[in-house]
């Protein structure tokens, strides 16, 4: 009977997650390209902040230009050390404007500073914020605008389909999205609930008026997790937001090595927990209950505990399956969620340790306080 204390916590945790009315594990909040929608895109300006994006920038810009009659595409070359601006200019896109980014002021992140410079050039009703590594399939921007207009949303963002080619990417990238959706349930974020607000910063369509109302990117300059901070400020100003998955905005940023993913996560993981030791301990307890205790139950000598542990893992895999199927990944990767979860917990602890040591985060040869 004592072994049940090993088996029951994880089982109850996963049953609770499974029956939550907002179903954070599902893929129902999604939006893909619709090429048959007739919409005027001339009231949209696209901002693309780019720093050392020579490899991806051509594909990104061409995918934007193929969306339709966009008013203007503004590429802000954020002090690149490669040929990003030259390669962009060679695309020959007529409505492309390339801004040479000014030196980064103190206390700004590079991306937000680039976007702030681009915002000064905008006079359209909407602005699309798009990362330089993201390709839009035809019809994606029309779907975004249609969603914003028909649902009366001030901000619509898409969780870009991350690259899932290598073993490390298949192990960790779907899990990254899965845990993001647990932390920020899309259904609640898309409601009027003022406590949960999420956006995926790689692809965001926002009304220019409300962006300026909140103070532009100046209001976010101290934020490392700028996308969710933007969503929160929109809600605080009585705006309405929507976030969903997509297979029509595709990120081509490579994460070939584990170290690349590890560094990406540790840069902001402890920030996500508000630098709170209490939240870090709580996170550790929950992850232990979710993934370690069920395994301990299976290897215990108690048949009942072993059975309950097996049931727990079936629920774990069942909640992960919708996302695996959504991204058309081999179903065997469904089995790896516990391993991915433990690895993300280790990354979070590493992020906290680096913060306590006073080590700065590094991104694109720039340092930021964790």
The predicted model gives 302-321 an average pLDDT of: 96
pLDDT of residue 312: 98
**Tens of pLDDT, residues 220-247:** 988 878 899 999 999 999 999 999 999 9
CB 160 within 8 A of CB 251: yes
Q: Which of 291, 292, 265, 286 is CA-nearest to residue 349?
A: 265
Answer yes or no: is pLDDT of 370 > 60: no
> Is the confidence at residue 293, as pLDDT, over 80?
yes
Q: From CA 130, how far away is CA 205, in angstroms rounded? A: 9
Q: Quick check: helix, strand or coil at residue 44?
A: strand
Arithmetic mean of pLDDT over the chain: 94
pLDDT at 10: 96
Q: Strands (DSSP E) along 237-360, which ranges?
A: 241-251
Residue 137: is its pLDDT beyond 80?
A: yes
Q: Name the band, by pLDDT with cuts 50, 70 and 90, for residue 363.
A: low
Cβ(184)–Cβ(272) below 8 Å: no
**Over 158-204, what HEC string results?**
EEEECCCCCHHHHHHHHHHHHHHHHHCCHHHHCCCCCCCCCCCCCEE
Res 37: pLDDT: 87
Higher pLDDT, 154 or 36: 154
What integer is the mean pLDDT of 280-303? 95
The pLDDT assigned to 366 comes to 64
Angle 167-183/258-266 helices, nearest 10 degrees?
Answer: 20
Confidence label for 300 from pLDDT (cuts 50, 70 and 90): confident
- Say what percent of the chain tops pLDDT 70: 97
State which fold the 44-166+190-257 domain adopts.
Spore Coat Polysaccharide Biosynthesis Protein SpsA; Chain A (3.90.550)
The pLDDT value recorded for residue 210 is 98
Burial class (CB in 10 A: 0-12, 13-18, 19+), 101: buried
Could you tell me whether strands 44-50 and 126-130 are parallel, antiparallel, or unpaired per DSSP bridges? parallel
pTM for this one? 0.94
Mean pLDDT of the 147-151 span = 97
Whether the CB-CB separation of 361 and 370 falls below 8 Å is answered with: yes
Q: Which of 48, 178, 24 is nearest to 101 (CA)?
A: 48
44, β-bridge pairs: 126
Three-state DSSP state, 30: strand
pLDDT at 367: 66
Longest dimension (CA), the chain: 73
Distance between CA atoms of 137 and 158, rounded to whole angstroms?
Answer: 13
Domain extent listing, the chain: 4-24+260-365, 44-166+190-257
Backbone angles phi, psi at 160, to 5 degrees: -55, 150
Tell me which residue has tokens 């893929």: 27
pLDDT value, residue 365: 64
């Amino acid at each position: 009977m004592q072994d049940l204390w090993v088996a029951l916590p994880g089982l109850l945790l996963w049953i609770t997650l499974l029956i939550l009315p907002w179903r954070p594990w599902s893929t129902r909040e999604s939006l893909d390209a619709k090429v048959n929608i007739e919409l005027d895109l001339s009231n949209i300006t696209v901002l693309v902040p780019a720093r050392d994006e020579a490899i991806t920038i051509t594909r990104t810009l061409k995918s934007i230009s193929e969306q339709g009659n966009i008013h203007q595409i503004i590429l802000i070359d954020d002090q690149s050390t490669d040929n990003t601006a030259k390669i962009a200019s060679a695309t020959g896109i007529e409505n492309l404007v390339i801004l040479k980014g000014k030196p980064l002021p103190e206390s700004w992140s590079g991306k937000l500073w680039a976007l702030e410079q681009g915002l000064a050039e905008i006079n359209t009703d909407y602005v699309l914020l798009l990362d330089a590594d993201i390709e839009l399939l035809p019809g994606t921007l029309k779907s975004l605008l249609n969603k914003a207009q028909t649902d009366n949303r001030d901000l619509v963002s898409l969780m870009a389909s991350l690259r899932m080619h290598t073993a490390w990417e298949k192990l960790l990238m779907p899990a990254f999205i899965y845990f993001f959706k647990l932390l920020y349930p899309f259904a609640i974020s898309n409601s009027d609930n003022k406590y949960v607000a999420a956006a995926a910063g790689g692809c965001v369509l926002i009304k220019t008026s409300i962006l300026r109302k909140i103070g532009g990117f100046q209001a976010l300059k101290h934020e490392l997790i700028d996308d969710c901070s933007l969503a929160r400020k929109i809600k605080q100003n009585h705006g309405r937001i929507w976030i969903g998955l997509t297979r029509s905005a595709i990120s081509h940023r490579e994460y070939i090595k584990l170290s690349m993913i590890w560094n990406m996560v540790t840069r902001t993981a402890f920030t996500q927990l508000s630098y709170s030791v209490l939240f870090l301990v709580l996170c550790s307890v929950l992850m232990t209950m979710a993934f370690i205790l069920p395994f301990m139950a299976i290897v215990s000598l108690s048949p009942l505990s072993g059975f309950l542990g097996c049931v727990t893992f079936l629920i774990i895999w069942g909640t992960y399956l919708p996302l695996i199927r959504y991204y058309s990944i081999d179903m065997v990767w469904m089995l790896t969620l516990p391993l991915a979860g433990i690895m993300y917990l280790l990354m979070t602890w590493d992020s906290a340790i680096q913060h306590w040591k006073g080590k700065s985060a590094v991104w694109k040869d720039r340092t930021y306080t964790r």
